[in-house]
Amino acid sequence: SVNIELAKMKSKVLQAKGNAANAKKDAENKEKMKKQEEADTKDLQETLPASKELANAAEDATEAISLMASPLIAEPPEGGDDILEKAFEEIHAAAADAQ
């Protein structure tokens, strides 16, 4: 009957409106995500060089501390407890500075 056909058409129209609304929300969400990704990429590009520089400085400091400590550990000075203690204090200070 006409009423049944009319109800079917109304249902299809409502479904189409719902699909259009969902598509619009999806597009808006994608645009928001794209903008956020662009902002994150920009932030990364701005902070990455400084982060790399800090990491390289920490690596260099660690290597320097290792070079300072290695000979003392491999061949500690005989009878030089004061010398050894002073050297380890310097190494400890260098390690604290590296942090």
- The total of structural domains in the chain comes to 1
Per-residue confidence band for 89, with pLDDT thresholds at 50, 70 and 90: confident
Mean pLDDT of 27-55: 96
pLDDT at 82: 80
Residue 87's pLDDT band (cuts 50, 70, 90): confident
What gap in Å lies between CA 62 and CA 54, rounded to an integer? 12
DSSP character for 79?
Answer: T
For residue 51 the two structure tokens come to 């982060």
User: How would you class 47 by CB atoms within 10 Å of its CB: exposed for 0-12, middle for 13-18, buried for 19 or more?
Assistant: exposed
**Alpha helices, DSSP H, located in 1-99:** 2-74, 81-98
The structure tokens 């808006």 sit at 28
Tell me, what's the pLDDT at 30?
Answer: 95
Q: What is the pLDDT of residues 42-84, one digit of tens each?
A: 999 999 999 999 999 989 988 988 888 888 888 877 776 787 7
Domain span including residue 58: 2-98
For 78, list phi and psi in degrees, rounded to 5.
-75, 135
